[in-house]
Amino acid sequence: MNLSQMNKEQLTSFKNEVEALYNDFKAQGLCLNMSRGNPCKEQLELSVDMLKVFDDGRFESENGTDVRNYGQLDGIPEAKKFFSEMIRVAEDEIIVFGNSSLNAMYFSIQLAYNKGVLGEKPWSEYEKVKFLCPVPGYDRHFKVTEFFGIEMINIPMTSTGPDMDMIEELVSKDETIKGIWCVPQYSNPEGISYSDETVKRFAALKPAAKDFRIFWDNAYCIHHLTDSPKPILNILDEAKKAGNENIVYIFGSTSKVTFPGAGVAVMGASRENIESLKKALGISIIGYDKMNQLRHVKFFGTFKNMCDHMKKHMAIIAPKFNIVCDTLEEEIAPLGIGKWTKPEGGYFISFDAMSGCAKRIVQLCAEAGVTLTGAGATYPYGIDPEDKNIRIAPTFPPVEDLKKAMELFVICVKLASAEKLLAEK
């Protein structure tokens, strides 16, 4: 029975039952962390042989550089070639960074802020600049823009990507809107992939600001949870067709391909953008870890091999996504107290509780020993206007722990929902 159709008595009895279950759980003294999209131990084991690639004692890049020494600011050529296939740009449209794509994003924002983009006025010289933020979204993106005092404007997500009407309208009028955060494939947290039309409309944007950039964080570009993934359109190709090739910065990494702590991050963009970024990058560093770049290239050999490697990840984590979705389907769907999407890739399941319940659910879980991503984290400034979105990260816990955590989660959803409905009676 749908919870909102219950009368006060029914609700009270429902709540009491659920509360008893909750207290049983609390007594178990669980201690599980589902707050971040961390790969699990089995996933980390998949890449351990990468550490053996230098057993041959060969440390030369194909251009003769000893990768152990200084140099090669934008990456060794074989790494540029290899990763350009992953983010679908040309070999001279890429910079290979260190272990963090977030750091590459921070760098590009910092640079735009302090020095401007391709000769335009630095963002710091405006009284205010703004960013568009499809919501729910990735908390670390929002933290970067907040850090630089950039005002963030929420853009609702639809099943085909962010609301493009709203974006087109806003950017065409306001010269102080300088960028937008996008996770185009398997968005964080909803797992939505942008439709062809969405990508084309992004590529064809005509912002009032010449230095408007789309921060296209394609973090999950090869992170499928299905055997027949649907590719999204190539944004840089589309932008070129639209005569708009400078509009996009593309980011990617192997954090969830090899090692989150020791992967390789990359950035793709038009040649003009890349040249300008490289010039500034060379002030801040002599070169990133080229040994790790070569380690990756030697380990995988080909892009196809890396994609095959991702199937091993899928085999480990797809069942975990199923546990979450099945539990929600069985326990929450009949009660009408939540909505979620079943993603075909990425690292998260986005759960929308009844309005006003997210914080309470997260709190209840925490008090019973399961840490979730903080409610509100998926919105700029940590403010979810309806207090309903919760990001579920199912990859890290072992299957048995995840089952336990989901049992608790649905109990907390039920309890918080009943509390809310009762308070309204």
Q: Report cis status (omega within 30 of 0) of the bond before 385.
A: no
Contacting positions for a second copy (CB under 8 A): 36, 38-39, 41, 44, 47-48, 51, 54-55, 57, 59, 66-72, 98-100, 102-103, 106-107, 110, 113-115, 124, 140, 143-144, 147-148, 255, 259-262, 280, 283-292
Q: Which two tokens stand for residue 340?
A: 């979620």
Report in angstroms how near the CB of residue 371 gets to a second copy at its nearest: 14
Pairing of strands 370-372, 32-34: parallel
In 10 A of CB 307, how many CB atoms? 16
| Nearest to 413, CA basis, from 347, 381, 368 | 368
Cis bond upstream, residue 343 (ω within 30)? no
- Minimum CB separation of residue 304 from a second copy in Å reads 24
Q: How many CB atoms lie within 10 A of CB 342?
A: 14
**Smallest gap, in angstroms, from Cβ of residue 124 to a second copy?**
7
Contacts of 23 (CB under 8 A, 6+ apart): none
Q: Rounded to an integer, what distance in angstroms lies between the CA atom of residue 77 and that of residue 146? A: 35
Report, in Å, the least distance between residue 372 CB and a second copy.
16
In this structure, the chain runs to a length of 425
Nearer to a second copy, 70 or 208 (CB): 70
Nearest to 377 by CA among 27, 165, 140: 140
Considering beta carbons, is residue 170 or 267 the nearer one to a second copy?
267
Instruction: Give whichever of 90 and 316 is closer to a second copy, judged by the CB atom.
Output: 316
Q: How far apart are CA 390 and CA 316, in angstroms?
A: 23
> With respect to a second copy, which residue has the nearer C-beta, 67 or 364?
67
Compare residues 106 and 303 and give the one whose CB is closer to a second copy.
Answer: 106
d(CA 328, CA 339): 9
Which CB, 39 or 161, lies closer to a second copy? 39
| Smallest distance from a second copy to CB 47, Å | 8
Least separation in angstroms between CB 91 and a second copy? 20
* Of residues 51 and 315, the one with the C-beta less far from a second copy: 51
Distance CA(344)–CA(191), nearest Å, equals: 7
Nearer to a second copy, 184 or 287 (CB): 287
Taking the complex as a whole, the smallest distance from the CB of residue 70 to a second copy amounts, in Å, to 4
Task: Kindly state the smallest distance separating residue 113's Cβ from a second copy, in Å.
Answer: 7
Amino acid type, 222? I
Min dist. Cβ of residue 110 to a second copy (A): 6
Other CB atoms within 10 Å distance of the CB of residue 179 = 27
Of 47 and 246, nearer to a second copy (C-beta) is 47
Question: Least distance from C-beta 227 to a second copy, angstroms?
Answer: 27
Q: Which is nearer to a second copy, 33 or 195 (CB)?
A: 33
Smallest CA-to-CA distance from 58 within 262, 300, 295 is with 295
Rounded distance, CA 418 to CA 361, Å?
A: 11
Distance of CA 214 to CAs 66, 67, 198, Å?
Answer: 35, 32, 13
- Which residues, in sequence order, are CB contacts of 147 under 8 Å at separation 6+? none
